[in-house]
Amino acid sequence: METTKPQTEEPISSAEPDTDQNNETWQANRQVILKAMVRLMNRHNRLPTKIEIAEETGLSRPTIYKHLKSLGDNPVQKEQMQLFGMYSSSVLAKIAQVALSGDIKAARLALELMGAINRK
């Protein structure tokens, strides 16, 4: 029995925003990555690895790394995080649920978010 990979949006190859075109590419890739992360979390009930995200999206690991690293640096993302702050307890609960199922990365993230441990 062969499993088929879910259809994904076509990634556009560019790692960093420099011009309007690159910014559009950056934003398109970011959406592809975020949607892939949701699919992978639902499929595996854990946080996906960079390799899994790369395989799911067709983007390179360096591109995935740059996007994930930039999530906290993006002023729009920071504003969105403030707007969605009311959901923080339910998000933390989901992360804790994934952590309790044995996902070490989720456990570390939950502890960091609760301030129990410091981020590196």
Domain coordinates of the chain in residue numbers? 19-74, 84-120
- Compute the distance between CA of residue 15 and CA of residue 88 in angstroms, rounded to an integer: 29
CATH number 1.10.3430 given to 19-74: no
For 1-120, strand residue ranges (E) read: none
Q: 37: which residues sit within 8 A by CB, 6+ positions away? A: 48, 53
Q: 71: which residues sit within 8 A by CB, 6+ positions away? A: 77
Question: Model confidence at 97, in pLDDT bands (50, 70, 90)?
Answer: confident
Taking 50 as the threshold, does the pLDDT of residue 17 lie above it? no
Structure tokens at 75: 């002023």
- Compute the distance between CA of residue 84 and CA of residue 87 in angstroms, rounded to an integer: 6
* Mean pLDDT computed over 30-46: 87
* Mean pLDDT computed over 72-101: 70
**Count of CB atoms within 10 A of residue 76's CB?**
8
Report the pLDDT value the prediction gives residue 58, as an integer from 0 to 100. 96
- Compute the distance between CA of residue 64 and CA of residue 104 in angstroms, rounded to an integer: 20
If you ran DSSP here, which 8-state letter would residue 70 be given? H
